[in-house]
Structure 1
């Protein structure tokens, strides 16, 4: 009996230690987070509304054709100018010296040509009298041709120098309004370096950026004071912008556009011909953008998965989208920036 008692106590102690280890190894599982969802609805919108920017038909960057230091700036941004108005002036001293040097070169070339021509006349008279050979006459004729070529080159250089002197004044190429003026007095500019941007007078256009899956319609309208101004497609970009994933299009405004200020944002409306499938309405907060295009997060079977979509229109709290969706799908309406692909979640009761 004395032998069995210690063994029994040892067995009970080992059993108690084992039970303690089992309790400490239990891991408490964290339940999946709740997500707020909203059902996808089929949109009844028949038009596509997008923002556009008013542009001039021709926007000309202006620059000097020669380099130099700006000595005079005669205009500011927003000023209306006429064709031929002087906008900037360069330091013309070096240009004037270049003209004088070209004039001197031309004068010397003309004198050399006159001397060679007089020599040719004398040699022709001497050949008749057999005082010089025909070979000497031929050499004289060659000298005249060379002198004539040098004179013509000097004359061309003089014309170039005079043109460069004229380029020292930058003039407006057409009537219009200066959208931007960046050149300053004292600034040294290179030939071709932009100093201003001129919006030429004429018809105004509206520049619109469409989602990449939307083909820009041929016509549309701009709403101005409850009045619609017709738009006609003039050109569209040949490729989608790699950063914004949008397609640029230019529309000509048909009708008076004097009230539209250059650079202003207007509301353009187009017939919704972009979606070959249904157009859906989702909460604006459901749109997620992480550098790979707009997406929404669909909740299904206790998991969330991202679905790529194209944004067709935006409202104050709703977005019109197209994509691989079905009416009635539940999408996450808040906190999409916290979600990851195939993440487990629980739907918050609505």
Structure 2
């Protein structure tokens, strides 16, 4: 019995010792596993793409207004309607204008009669002076009266023409062919001269209106994407002299260099511009390569099989990349993913590119 117990005891010790050795071997094998990491080459590149929405506008968008005040009698056009040059858009009530024209005609007739009377007086005084019946002073006075009558007649002619022009202004015509973007005037509305009651987008050249963020000045050139996937080059024509006080943006108008038949007024398009980020030594890295643990931004360099942190100063960011300045040579191996799990001096191995 004692021999059996001794044998069982020895067998148990053997099993426990073998299990402990197996656990130690597994622990050693786990500890010796070196994690794999994805790396990229840090490239010197301070250029990025700035994408902004733009709106297709006409080169000339003219506010349409009457040249005199009055009551709108009729409206002949609607928003979105295509119009031709000299086409009538609105009519004003002309009753007062007709009365003014008749008054100008009567004033001109009176001035003509006054001039005729003054001319007869000058002729009569000239004959009387030849016979020494009147003085030369009387003849001079008659001549001055004639000059005044002639001046009044010229003024009457001018006022009559003004009255005729006013009658013509009562019909508001399109200055050029195009499309009415907005129409606000309605029959029965009393308007003042110069008050815009419609906006005419003239046919011809089209432009792209873009609003840039306050900290980004409008670029000199760029591209606009068409619905069919093609891109057209655009050139800056004008930019606002100051940022908009409400939206804090810079308004810019870009001229399309090529054919633009596929673009319609008011269409929202995507524009692309090249943007410079920092100086010429700025590094472009994936956004996932940035690491921030409360001590400032840093990136991790793979050097001699170990991960080493390098302080970085962020210049710009977008959805996929970051532009930083760091004390790193170009084409250094940068760890791109999982940087939050790294420790200084941690052994890692790079995946094949």
Cα distance, 1:106–1:239 mapped onto 2, change above 3 Å: same
Normalised by the length of structure 1, the TM-score is 0.68
Which residue, out of 183, 188, 191, partners 2:190?
188
Which residue, out of 224, 239, 263, partners 1:260?
263
Superposition deviation, residue 190 in structure 1 = 1.1
Superposition deviation, residue 195 in structure 1 = 0.7
Cα distance, 1:310–1:109 mapped onto 2, change above 3 Å: farther
Superposition deviation, residue 243 in structure 1 = 2.6
Q: Deviations over 1:135-184 (max 9, x none)?
A: 10011001001111111111111111111111111000111110011111
2:120 aligned with 1:126: no
Secondary structure in structure 1 of the residue aligned to 2:218: coil
Equivalent residue, structure 2, for 1:78: 80
Runs of 5+ consecutive residues of structure 1 not aligned to the other structure: 1-40, 284-297, 303-308, 328-347
Superposition deviation, residue 234 in structure 1 = 0.7
The RMSD of aligned alpha carbons is 3.1
Cα distance, 1:200–1:319 mapped onto 2, change above 3 Å: farther
Whether contact under 8 Å (2:277, 2:315) holds in the other structure is no
Whether contact under 8 Å (1:215, 1:274) holds in the other structure is no
Whether contact under 8 Å (2:46, 2:276) holds in the other structure is no
Superposed, which structure 2 residues align to 1:165-184 within 5 Å?
Answer: 165-184=167-186
Equivalent residue, structure 2, for 1:49: 51
Q: Deviations over 1:46-86 (max 9, x none)?
A: 32111111111010011111111111100011111111110
Whether contact under 8 Å (1:213, 1:274) holds in the other structure is no
Q: Deviations over 1:121-148 (max 9, x none)?
A: 1111111111111010011001001111
Whether contact under 8 Å (2:278, 2:315) holds in the other structure is no
Taking the aligned partners of 1:150 and 1:300, their CA distance within structure 2 comes to 89
Equivalent residue, structure 2, for 1:112: 114
Superposition deviation, residue 213 in structure 1 = 2.8
Whether contact under 8 Å (2:46, 2:278) holds in the other structure is no
Whether contact under 8 Å (1:213, 1:310) holds in the other structure is no
Which residue, out of 294, 301, 319, partners 1:300?
294
The alignment covers a number of residue pairs equal to 264
Equivalent residue, structure 2, for 1:251: 254
Cα distance, 1:126–1:92 mapped onto 2, change above 3 Å: same
Runs of 5+ consecutive residues of structure 2 not aligned to the other structure: 1-41, 297-313, 327-339, 342-353
Which residue, out of 269, 274, 282, partners 2:272?
269
Taking the aligned partners of 2:277 and 2:176, their CA distance within structure 1 comes to 39
